[in-house]
């Protein structure tokens, strides 16, 4: 019993000290912990060679995302990533139902760091048919009616 209590105190102390450090880490980032929303989001319905539909996403990243990604590359870390939430028809958003989001790291070429105003992400593909097991739907969903 005494050992469990001591272990609990140690874990609680570690958690308490880590919480303060997270704020310092966020403040040390070039964005100060605040990120602007992406601009000019477009979603285009396209088809794979076999005829299956998918979504191609494109957007312009604001200055804060540009700075975060540049910081990540300079420090050998991933700086930013995208997260995508979806729903079928009037159903529930996937995140609300599962607590998960789809996404990936944003991969930018070095030359894109020269001009933050021209910082476009145009290679994000989202294939809901491929992810049908995760979405809880079968391949018969007409994604054209759910754009």
User: Do both 8 and 22 map to the same domain?
Assistant: yes
Q: pLDDT, tens digit, for every residue of 91-140?
A: 888 888 888 777 766 666 555 555 555 566 666 777 776 665 555 555 56
How far apart CA 60 and CA 41 sit, in angstroms, is 7
pTM of the shown model? 0.58
DSSP letter at 116 equals G
Kindly state whether residues 58 and 77 are assigned to the same domain: yes
Lowest mean pLDDT segment, chosen from 45-59, 81-95, 109-123: 109-123
Phi-psi group of 21: left, alpha or beta (phi > 0 → left; psi -120 to 50 → alpha; rest → beta): alpha
The whole domain housing 25 covers: 1-30
What's the number of domains the chain is made of?
2
- Does one domain contain both 39 and 17? no
79 and 136 fall within a common domain: yes
Task: Specify whether 48 is located in the same domain as 2.
Answer: no
Q: Indicate the burial class of 23 (C-beta count within 10 angstroms; 0-12, 13-18, 19 or more).
A: exposed
Averaged pLDDT of the chain = 70
């Amino acid at each position: 019993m005494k050992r469990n209590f001591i272990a609990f105190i140690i874990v609680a102390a570690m958690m308490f000290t880590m919480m303060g450090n997270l704020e310092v880490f966020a403040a040390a980032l070039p964005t100060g912990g605040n990120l602007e929303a992406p601009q000019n989001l477009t979603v285009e319905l396209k088809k794979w060679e076999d005829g299956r539909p998918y979504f191609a996403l494109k957007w312009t990243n604001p200055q804060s995302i540009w700075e975060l990604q540049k910081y990540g590359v300079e420090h050998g870390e991933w700086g930013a990533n995208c997260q995508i939430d979806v729903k079928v028809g009037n159903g529930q958003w996937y995140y609300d139902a599962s607590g998960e989001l789809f996404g990936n790291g944003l991969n930018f070429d070095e030359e894109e760091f020269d001009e933050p105003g021209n910082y476009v992400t145009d290679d994000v593909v989202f294939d809901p048919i491929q992810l049908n097991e995760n979405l809880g739907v079968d391949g018969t969903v007409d994604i054209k009616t759910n754009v």
